[in-house]
Amino acid sequence: EESTVSKILDLVENASSKKAPTENFITKFARYYTPAVVFIALAIGVLPPLLLGYDIKDWSYRAFVFLVISCPCALVISIPLGFFGGIGGASKSGILIKGGNYLEGLNEIDTIVFDKTGTLTKGIFKVTNVDSFNDFTKEKVLELAAYGEVYSNHPIGLSIIEAYGKEIDKDKIKNYKDIPGKGIEAEIDDSKIFIGNKKLFEENDIDIIEKDSIGTVAYVGKDNIHIGTIIVSDELKQNIDKEIKEIKSKGIKNTIMLSGDNEETAKKVGNLVGIDKIYGNLLPQDKVTIFEKIIEDSKGKVAFVGDGVNDAPVLARADIGIAMGGLGSDAAIEASDIVIMTDEIGKITTGIKIAKNTKKIVTQNIILALGIKLVVLALGAFGKATMWEAVFADVGVSILAILNSIRSLKVEE
């Protein structure tokens, strides 16, 4: 019962508990509408015979016709059914939406904020280049970096250890320090080793030979000397630039990227895929601070798309949090409102299409049900509609609205 699959099933099964604003409106509407029409029917059946001496049989019949027509089942059944259909159609496409409110909310998004690693990129890091300086070999640079990263659980650190590929003697490592947002400092064989970004080396007054790369740049220092540079690259997801373009075509005005990677790398990736605004060098708390500012400045709803544990606070804060469900962490899936099981950014476009289609179908049902009912109600009050018309205005309209709602199950990828 603790597996990701069973948790996701539970989320989908309980999606109906989170009602969309339109559903809530209809529930409130029915609360006042139903007693109102009952009293109007009573007035139609009783007042004309009592006050004006009309035939009670004729006016009672009109009252019953009015009562049958006014039954709100078409609205109360078809609108939630439209949202269930939309949620069902989305889950068939690998998009799990945790409630009708989030499905309807997709129509109001004007800003989407993306994490980089595992969201726009594949999240599979590999060492693609090693440079060495000051008479050190590439092998030695990689060895010292691997020793420095041995306690790291960050994908970049793990890729350096994997590239080294030999056994690491942890007894050689002393005074290990993990410096958030900067890198690692440790003593190995009585030498001080630094592995990290430009900030770490600037703080320790170590001159570096800067490297420009689309990958993540990890500088390696020993005893206050820059001895090497390691490039760790993460591949962009296939067709990601086209998918971002398609998302923008659905009425999304702003696309923003928040990344923990250094700013230069983040900007290069963001510009390649067509993101409007890019922030780099961010710690998890920095992401939340910047995201709060984005929400303040935005006129519509703001969605955040991420996959890692460090994205969970932002996913929870977003108007609509979208998590990558394939490679994403449990914390991200739990904190999000929508889960994309295939990890494809293009599914956001599909989700927006489903949301727009569902909203259109629900609006059609409201207009159909209320329109026919008002016309037949007026005819019934003046004695021009029989019980047959009344039954059509109630049951017939309900069936038409339900059949229309079923259309929301159809998904255009």
Which residues does the annotation mark as catalytic? 115
* List of residues 6+ apart from 75 with CB closer than 8 A: 26, 29, 30, 365, 366, 369, 370, 401
In whole angstroms, give the CA distance from residue 29 to residue 389: 24
| Tokens of residue 13, six digits | 């099964």
What residue type is assigned to position 170 of the chain? Answer: K
| Tokens of residue 64, six digits | 């019953």
**For residue 181, with 0-12 CB atoms within 10 Å meaning exposed, 13-18 middle and 19 or more buried, which class applies?**
middle
Q: Which residue has the tokens 């207009």?
A: 367
**Is there a contact between 189 and 172 (Cβ–Cβ < 8 Å)?**
yes
Positive or negative: CA dihedral 336, 342, 345, 347: negative
**Is there a contact between 311 and 290 (Cβ–Cβ < 8 Å)?**
no
CA atoms within 13 A on the CB side of 43: 7
Q: Report the side by side order of strands in the sheet with 173-179.
A: 121-132, 225-236, 216-222, 191-196, 183-188, 173-179
**Is there a contact between 354 and 33 (Cβ–Cβ < 8 Å)?**
no
**For residue 180, with 0-12 CB atoms within 10 Å meaning exposed, 13-18 middle and 19 or more buried, which class applies?**
exposed
Element (H, E) at 98: none
| Tokens of residue 315, six digits | 């996913």
In whole angstroms, give the CA distance from residue 16 to residue 158: 41
| Tokens of residue 118, six digits | 């595992």
